[in-house]
Amino acid sequence: MSVRLRLTLWYGGVLAGVLLAFAAVLYGTMAAAMRTQVDRSLEDAARTAIRSLEAHRFGPFLLFEDLSADFPELATLDKFFQIFGPSGTITIKSPNLRQHDIPLSRPAIEAAVQGLTTFESARYPGEPPMRLVAVPVRHGDALVNIVQVGTSLEPVEAMLHRLLLILLIAGPLTLAVSLAGGWFLAGRALRPVAAITAAARRIAAGDLTQRLNEPTSCDEIGQLIQTFNQMIAKLDASFRQIRQFSTEASHELRTPLTVLKGEAELALRRNRSAEDYRHVLESALEEIDRMARIVDELLFLSRADVGEVPLESKPVALHTVVDDVRRQAEVLAQEKRIAVLASRLDPCTVTADEWRLHELVLNLVSNAITYSHPDGRVELRLTCQGGLAELTISDQGIGIAPDELPRIFDRFYRTTAARAHAKTGTGLGLAIAKWIAEAHGGAIRVSSMPGHGSTFTVTLPLSSAAAPAV
Ligand code: ADP
């Protein structure tokens, strides 16, 4: 069942309920009000008749004309009168009753004896439905007469019947018109959904450049279209990134393979000395190492992408990790006579995977050494403040151009200056470092001046501050 049909049916159902309740309340209150009015006018007429009776001192041979002469309102056509003796025998009958015989009911006589007024609805064969009131007339303690006034309920019933007819016609008509309106409006409101479906279909067929026309309004549909477009833009960007990533990965792996192949072919062209073979094998090993590193790093990143990198969550003394890395890096830095110093190492405990933190710091420090000039200086500084451990690694190396800064954490991205400076990089180290920092609930940022050096800052939540997102 389509949403349009469902909406219309729901709307129709609710409206039908409301109309039905409205009609029932209207009919009920109208009927009650009209019946009350009839009763009141009957009672008034009875009181007039009693006053007339009293005016004539309840004479035994009174005629209706005697009464109506003084009280002309008794001669109205729509009501009839009967005045009974205390035993229930008729003494006076209004002329409009003619030959009709309307007796006083037993309950009415019994109530009159007790001095009570009785209202009754009665239906006699061949007569219209009637409403009757019987009022006792007392003189002192004795019941002298019972005045009965009656009227036909036909006009009231006819009016109620007409009201019912109007409601029965107007109700369904209103419902039908509203349903048609609801169907039309639901169709109009849902029209953009059809456009979204069509676009989604084209996108599903592989065309990620498709976008929906930006809406002019900011209503629910407008927001849906905007969100949809943003989602497609994101998907488009990620697919592009994946394609670029595979291109770059194959390119990075092909280079060492080409070198390997070239060297092996060259070596095999003629017989060579053991020394030459040794050189070729050493060079081959270097390339194999490089490829193995790329494959390891790629494997790590793809596992990280699907959440398959297990992370320990234990208290780790970050200052110890930093100092270990510093000592390890000193050895690496020796060749270029670079000094690796820790200007400040506050004791900080973070909840983390120690080995991954070691990898993160080592990545940044080895980059600082790689992209430093000989005789340079790499400075480490660890502080704890406001629930955060902040580690900065500064170098005085080649720096990073401002337009390249936002891209250095991308996989395989290497700056032009870095490519010229060092041949060995893979462009994956910073992507891994960023993932490790973020997986521990931290962050990594960089500032740099081309030609003057770079500063990488890692922030991690301290153990007491917050549990890491591992
Ligand atoms: P790589 O193996 O190339 O070092 P990374 O992912 O570790 O790969 O770094 C990505 C790029 O960021 C590097 O190629 C280099 O261009 C730049 N970079 C990283 N660290 C520094 C630094 N300390 N100084 C200058 N450039 C850096």
pLDDT tens-place string over residues 224-269: 888 888 988 998 888 888 888 888 889 888 988 998 999 999 999 9
Q: What are the tens digits of pLDDT across the range 357-380? A: 999 999 999 999 999 999 999 999
Predicted TM-score (pTM) of the model is: 0.59
Which atom of ligand 1 lies nearest, measured to the CA of 363? Answer: 7
Ligand 1 atom 11 nearest Cα: 414
Ligand 1 center to 320 CA (angstroms): 25
Q: How far apart are CA 399 and CA 418, in angstroms?
A: 9
Indicate whether residue 367 lines ligand 1 (CB < 6 A).
yes
Indicate whether residue 362 lines ligand 1 (CB < 6 A).
no
Domains and CATH numbers, the chain: 3-157 (3.30.450.20), 220-305 (1.10.287.130), 314-461 (3.30.565.10)
Ligand 1 center to 39 CA (angstroms): 101
Residues 6+ apart with CB under 8 A from 176: none
In single-letter form, the type of residue at position 176 comes to A
Residue with tokens 């498709």: 210
Residues 6+ apart with CB under 8 A from 398: 371, 372, 373, 417, 418, 421, 450, 451
List beta partners, residue 459: 390, 443
> How deeply is 117 buried, as exposed, middle or buried, from its count of CB atoms within 10 A (0-12, 13-18, 19+)?
middle
Q: What are the tens digits of pLDDT across the range 439-448? A: 999 999 999 9
List beta partners, residue 445: 457
In our burial notation (b when 16+ CB lie closer than 10 A, e otherwise), range 133-154 reads bbbbbeeeeebbbbbbbbbbbe
Which atom of ligand 1 lies nearest, measured to the CA of 397? Answer: 24
Indicate whether residue 394 lines ligand 1 (CB < 6 A).
no
Q: How far apart are CA 412 and CA 294, in angstroms?
A: 10
Task: Name the phi and psi angles at 190, rounded to 5.
Answer: -95, -5
What does the pLDDT read at residue 339? 96
Ligand 1 center to 427 CA (angstroms): 7
The Cβ of residue 23 has, within 10 Å, a number of other Cβ atoms equal to: 17
Ligand 1 center to 262 CA (angstroms): 28
Residue 470 is classified by DSSP as -
CA-wise closest residue to 200 among 214, 189, 210: 210
Residue 410 is classified by DSSP as S
The mean per-residue pLDDT over the stretch 53-65 comes to 69
Rounded percentage of the chain residues whose pLDDT exceeds 90: 57
